[in-house]
Structure 1
Amino acid sequence: MVSQMLKWRKERGLREMLEQQFPQELTLAGAGFVYETDKFGNRTMYLRAAMCKNCSELKAALKDFLAYQVYKLDDPSEGTTYSIIMDLTGATLTNYDIDLMMYIVSLLKDYFPVNLDYFLAINFPWILSAAWSLIKRLIPAEKRDAVQFISSDKIFDFVDKENCPDFLGGTCTRPYSYINQEAPTTIEYLTQQKQQPPNSKPISKKRLRDILNLFCDVLPKDHIAKLQVQIENYNEESYNDDTNNNNNSNNNNNNNSEEDLKPTKRQEEKAKTKRVK
């Protein structure tokens, strides 16, 4: 199990990951972040379901972002145990992604299984009862007690008010929502060729607008306006031209490599002379 865990971490490149690899909006929305310690000295990570949108184009980035955050949290040099607090207050059907929830369980169970002290689910909605029945089967029996369901008014049984973020009634002033200026915006991230599968079609402006609409209720208006400008400036034809140029460049490189392997006429003559001798 340990070898599998270490292999996965290496394959994901968690040690080399940087926050600026991910779209700015993940930190701006405060979807998931490491925060102050709880009453038991555990480091904490907060997940906010209402800030996570069910968007297929961003799901891989969100999964990597969560793995990156848990990897930082699991650093043994910072302490021995941690807790994860998931706030489901205000979440709607656009936030419920059973695949993502199962990924989080798998992440903690298979790849970070040792140091988790407890997992809090705050204001868990009845609509997810069936999903929980499915997810519960993935959790080893001896670990199920670590998952606790509470209402938001019970949070101070676990976290001191001065260490708790404001959206749960705390008074901690440490910022959890911010922009990493070195990171791409969601629009830049989705229109960068390196983020797309080889030979894939460019994402359309219409789809970009649909994605932006998903985030309108969780991002500042001035940031939304900035993203709208980026969408209008996005040129799908330019994307196609760049992709074709890259493909042609790769083909030329491959052809050049094949030509380089062929012997020159002079080399062939030398080889014939050696055979005659």
Structure 2
Amino acid sequence: MSKLSEIRALFEAKLKSSSESFDPRDLERVKSDKYLYRVLEHYDNDVQLAVDMLWEIMVWRKTEKINEITEKTVNIEYVREGLFFPRGRDIDSCLIFIMKSKIYVKGQKNVAELKKVIIYWLERLEREEDGKKITVFFDMDGCGLSNMDIDIVMYMVTLFKNYYPNFVNYIIVFQLPWILSAGFKIVKSILPAKAVEKLKTIGKDKLKEIVAPEQALTCWGGKDDYVFEFIPEKQTESTAKKVTFKENGTHSLGELLSLSTNIVEFKTDGDEISGEFTIKNMDDSAISFKIRTTSPEKYRVRPSSGLLGIGAMQTVIITVQPGFNVSCVNKDRFLVLALQIPKIDISQTELSELWQSSSKSKVDEYRLKCQSSEKEKNTLNHESNSPETDVAVTIKKIHNDFEALNNEVSKLRMYQIVTIFLSAIVVLLSILIYREVGNEDGSCTRI
């Protein structure tokens, strides 16, 4: 029995033995392999923890009447003012969900209504992104103490931790004033280690490492001059289908291809640095695929696109261009796009038209991270058996700075001692000279 089937069986057994009843729309989630996989991945493949989380999600959604939170039931003025809104994508093509913290002033809003607005956006984004991860962006630029409500931030963190499984790619804290840093230290302290890795506190100078300039707002130093304007969610038939999630046996994102890995490991062979992975068509129709990267200038990808018949496999080889070393790959990402096509011998013109006309919901996306091999990591760390961590490097730097400061203080003390000694000599000489002059004056008087 697969882990997903085990989760489903354990949940159904618990439901039968319980007097609890849940909204049928929520129970549709249990039928979705994709949703169960999100829950399982949230707890690092621990089946029992995944079952417990799934149950808690159902209880919470029923208790809070989550399915009834819509544009008609939330405080629409809170929505329209732009405290929360989605815009742009990060380096992994994940949608950015922004909290414009400067708009918020503590004590001026009904907190219960504001929490419903947060849920409204998360539910909407989950539908529109079909469960793909989002990046949460706390824009703290220009904020003061009155703009910081730790309860709201903690509430958002709790939602992602307990009720929206594997839904966060990064948590970005942007332009955090030092006076508010203590608040986010509290937030960081309650996050599990896995989540702490996703939390990034950055300024304008480092933003491009997470968000490309073309995707960043101009107020962040980017090129997107977007001004928020609320646009109601499109209530179409396709949207309604997404609400219930897709049942087994129908196509949903993540099912077209099977990838041999989700991390491309790069190795050096002579003068060439390269990595590879294999993709396999898991669908019952032909597939067209494309491969994109966050740094196209660095890599040669062969093949960068192609066609796969039913059950066919393709090894993709990625070579680092001359002039770049293996240490530059770790922050880069690759994106594999897949689309169903009617036949394997499709013409290039027909294929181009299919890609151009296909809606986002029909295109599968698979993200791959990059890393250098263990051998390369050891080389990059000066062939040390126990390479220093960032914390160790920071501590060493502080220690060196302290030693340098201590040396400067010692020198200053020495200069002070020398100065006092010289001053004493000057005073002593002055006294001797005065006495000598006095003696000479006395002699003159007596004559």
Q: TM-score, normalised by structure 1?
A: 0.58
How far the C-alpha of 1:149 sits from its partner, in A, is 0.4
How far the C-alpha of 1:77 sits from its partner, in A, is 5.4
- Match for residue 133 of structure 1 among 185, 188, 194: 185
- Match for residue 156 of structure 2 among 104, 107, 120: 104
How far the C-alpha of 1:39 sits from its partner, in A, is 2.2
Q: Which residue of 2 aligns with 1:41?
A: 93
Name the structure where helix makes up a greater proportion of residues: 1
* Structure 1 pair 179–94 and aligned structure 2 pair: CA distance change class (3 A): farther
How far the C-alpha of 1:53 sits from its partner, in A, is 1.9
* Structure 1 pair 99–64 and aligned structure 2 pair: CA distance change class (3 A): same
Aligned residue identity for 1:117: N
- Does 2:194 correspond to 1:142? yes
Q: TM-score, normalised by structure 2?
A: 0.37
- Does 2:67 correspond to 1:7? no
Aligned residue identity for 2:124: K
Given that residues 43 and 82 in structure 1 are in contact (C-alpha distance below 8 angstroms), is that contact kept between their aligned partners in structure 2?
yes
Given that residues 49 and 88 in structure 1 are in contact (C-alpha distance below 8 angstroms), is that contact kept between their aligned partners in structure 2?
yes
Unaligned runs of 5+ in 2: 1-52, 233-447
Post-superposition CA distance 1:215-241 (Å, at most 9, x none): xxxxxxxxxxxxxxxxxxxxxxxxxxx
- Match for residue 59 of structure 1 among 101, 111, 118: 111
- Match for residue 147 of structure 2 among 80, 95, 112: 95
How far the C-alpha of 1:98 sits from its partner, in A, is 1.6
- Does 2:83 correspond to 1:31? yes
Post-superposition CA distance 1:103-139 (Å, at most 9, x none): 1211111112312111000011222233233222321
How far the C-alpha of 1:2 sits from its partner, in A, is 1.6
- Does 2:120 correspond to 1:84? no
Given that residues 170 and 198 in structure 2 are in contact (C-alpha distance below 8 angstroms), is that contact kept between their aligned partners in structure 1?
yes
* Structure 1 pair 175–78 and aligned structure 2 pair: CA distance change class (3 A): farther
CA RMSD of aligned residues (A): 2.4
* Structure 1 pair 37–23 and aligned structure 2 pair: CA distance change class (3 A): same
- CA distance in structure 2 between the aligned counterparts of 1:163 and 1:144, rounded to whole angstroms: 24
- Does 2:175 correspond to 1:123? yes
Q: Which has the higher contact order (CA 8 A, sep 6+)?
A: 1
How far the C-alpha of 1:96 sits from its partner, in A, is 1.3
* Structure 1 pair 158–64 and aligned structure 2 pair: CA distance change class (3 A): same
Aligned residue identity for 2:150: I
Given that residues 69 and 116 in structure 2 are in contact (C-alpha distance below 8 angstroms), is that contact kept between their aligned partners in structure 1?
no
How far the C-alpha of 1:56 sits from its partner, in A, is 6.2
Unaligned runs of 5+ in 1: 181-277
Secondary structure of 1:137's partner?
A: helix
Kindly name which structure, 1 or 2, has the bigger radius of gyration based on alpha carbons: 2
- Does 2:226 correspond to 1:171? no
- Match for residue 114 of structure 1 among 159, 166, 187: 166
Name the structure where strand makes up a greater proportion of residues: 2
* 1:170-249 equivalence runs, <5 A: 170-172=222-224, 174-178=226-230
Aligned residue identity for 2:200: Q
Given that residues 144 and 180 in structure 2 are in contact (C-alpha distance below 8 angstroms), is that contact kept between their aligned partners in structure 1?
no
* Structure 1 pair 90–25 and aligned structure 2 pair: CA distance change class (3 A): farther
Secondary structure of 1:21's partner?
A: coil
Q: Which residue of 1 aligns with 2:385?
A: none
Number of residue pairs aligned between Structure 1 and Structure 2: 180
How far the C-alpha of 1:89 sits from its partner, in A, is 0.5
Q: Which residue of 1 aligns with 2:346?
A: none
